[in-house]
Amino acid sequence: MTGTDTTAAPTRAEYCVVACAEAWRDAGEVLASPMGTVPMIGARLAKRTFAPDLLLTDGEALLIGDVPAIGAAPAIVEGWLPYRQHLALVTTGRRHVMMGASQLDRYGNQNISCIGDWERPRRQLLGVRGAPVNSLNNPTSYWVPRHSARVFVERVDMVCGVGHDRAAAAGPSATRYHRLPGVVTDLGVFDFETPDRGMRLRSLHPGVTVEQVREATGFALAVPEEVPYTRDPTAEELRLIREEIDPRGLRDREVRA
């Protein structure tokens, strides 16, 4: 469902956009680093609405001073952030990244490197990239566009982004700035607000059941007695998403209706 009809009911992709945007509520004057289309739309929506102080990049070395549509060039550049500065900025903590995950486990360990035995992987993926430095230094959330038991596994094959159990086992230098605010998927929103810091269902996107989430999760997920639904986008948020930030409907390619 694309186009500029602002009266149609919110799609699943739009619930995901709003859930991602919420990750940056109250983040303050920090860099939002969204990876993936829906998080990128979410970060821009947050900046246009309740988080105007966020810094955003053009995906490369420029900090953009306006909020263009996805894929469009910025009209205003407000700063310079080449990779060397970006990697240094991570360690200041003034950044909240939302990364993808090929595998994610109960304690928030993330894998984007390879599947199978690391020595000779069954499926080589990207490599660790910046997941280790991100997860130990600045708030790190995750986005999974297709929630399945292949992604949500008991144990990841290679720990790239560090989860709660691993950070705790490594000691105070690992836990000092370690923060995993949450996970957004096409089925719902998750956090780690449990006594053992295991993953918990925080909200369901409308139309999704607890049973569906459990079936698509390869570990025992904490589920509270009452699970709320992910909040609705406001009319103004829907207008911004559909008309200004993602008029080409790229969100629907990442999350099917």
Under the rule (CB under 8 A), what is the footprint of another protein? 60-62, 80, 82-84, 87, 90-91, 113-114, 118-133, 135-137, 158-162, 166-167, 169-174, 176-177
Question: CA-CA distance, 79 to 55, in Å (whole number)?
Answer: 9
CB of 15 to another protein, least distance (A): 25
CB of 246 to another protein, least distance (A): 19
Bridge partner residues of 32 (DSSP): 96
CB of 148 to another protein, least distance (A): 19
CA gyration radius for the chain?
A: 18
CB of 51 to another protein, least distance (A): 25
Nearer to another protein, 117 or 215 (CB): 117
Concatenated DSSP letters of 126-143: S--TTHHHHHHHS-EEEE
CB 141 within 8 A of CB 183: yes
CB 96 within 8 A of CB 27: yes
Nearer to another protein, 15 or 192 (CB): 192
Nearer to another protein, 88 or 235 (CB): 88
DSSP E strand stretches across the chain: 31-34, 56-57, 62-64, 77-80, 95-99, 103-104, 110-111, 114-115, 123-124, 140-144, 183-185, 188-191, 200-204
CB of 85 to another protein, least distance (A): 10
Nearer to another protein, 28 or 80 (CB): 80
